Amino acid sequence: MLEFQFLFKLLSGICKIRPERQIIILLFLEELLMSNNPLFELSEAMVAAVTKAGASTVTVDARRRIPASGIAYAPDLILTASHVVERDDDISVTLPEGSKLAARLAGRDPGSDLALLRLETNAVTAQPAPGEASVGQLVLALGRPGTDGIQASLGVISAIGGPVHTGRGGLLESYMRTDAIPYPGFSGGPLVDAAGQVLGINTSGLAHGASLAIPVSLAWQVAETLAKHGRVRRGYLGIRSQPVEIPAAQQKVLGREQASGLLIISVEKRSPAENGGLLVGDIIVAIEEHLVADPDELFAALVGEAVGVPTPIEVLRGGQPQKLTVTIGERK
């Protein structure tokens, strides 16, 4: 209240002051008002966030249409969306300062819609440690699809979930949905928080144009695998299954609360499941200590390092728990 009275008196007397002093006073008032304006502070924070993350956001030219975006995963590696990389050669990356470098495809994972490009030299500023995402969080989707500089779209995280089946026939282990507008060329660019920390990678290639983001924890994991092996290995057991309820008595035998598991209804001949001793009628309840209650959880457990490795699988057989060791096969 005292501050308001001070401003009122100052504005009332400003007309009696010489013009050159009026300018000084008006500038002072503007600074005073801005310093106490939370919207101004938020706006400035957003500008700083875009500047920070924009230093690692590049243009990826790997298709006939408008170029897309990418984010520096390492000084010589660019992470982008797989669906925007339509050719394996003649790929170029334009850095924030405008220089253009040749790049080659180091690997891709259509299941998560991620691809990794390798530059001919260390030329980009890698992103710092990733941030943590929460539903309702204010976020910025960034893109650099051309020579006009960095672009941004404001929104909030409306959902975090997974696993989820994608329009490309895969299963994404986790995802974030935002209401930020996915402008053309934003795929492959970062989704960042108000401090400029990367929360995810934008993509419109998984859900028929909807604005999704691949959480940075999953994206970084896929990028690491692509850098080492050029692909993400996804496993299979060779079974058909369906969810079933686990009665209270059997939960007591398991020694834990677990409402459901996967009933095996068929086993392929000469499959990893048959070779490992899994039988029709077994109920899979856990893989390597991770509880399994539905087919999506089983699918998610058979990704990456599990492929080709003897893996403990816990089943209920005749109402009693058993542990088998199955070497997970690789799904082609």
Domains of the chain, by residue range, sit at: 2-36, 45-232, 235-330
CA dist., res. 50 & res. 41, Å (int)? 14
Q: Check residue 18 and give its pLDDT.
A: 58
113 is catalytic: yes
Q: Check residue 2 and give its pLDDT.
A: 43
88 is catalytic: no
Cis peptide before 38, with omega less than 30 degrees from 0? no
Instruction: Give SS3 for 15.
Output: helix
Q: Check residue 1 and give its pLDDT.
A: 43
Q: Check residue 308 and give its pLDDT.
A: 85
* Fold assignment, 235-330: Pdz3 Domain (2.30.42)
Active-site option among 56, 61, 76, 83: 83
Active-site option among 61, 76, 113, 282: 113
Q: Check residue 101 and give its pLDDT.
A: 94
Active-site option among 82, 153, 187, 211: 187
This prediction's pTM: 0.73
Q: Check residue 184 and give its pLDDT.
A: 92
Q: So what CATH class is 45-232?
A: mainly beta
- Asked if 216 and 200 touch (Cβ cutoff 8 Å), the reply is yes
92 is catalytic: no
How many Cβ atoms are within 10 Å of 38's Cβ, its own excluded?
A: 7
Residues with pLDDT less than 50, the chain: 1-8, 10-11, 14
The dihedral over CA atoms of 21, 24, 29, 31, expressed in degrees to the nearest 10, equals -170
CA distances from 242 to 218, 223, 274, 316 (A): 27, 32, 18, 14
Residues ≥6 apart with Cβ < 8 Å to 292: 261, 262, 284, 285, 286, 298, 301
Q: Check residue 89 and give its pLDDT.
A: 86
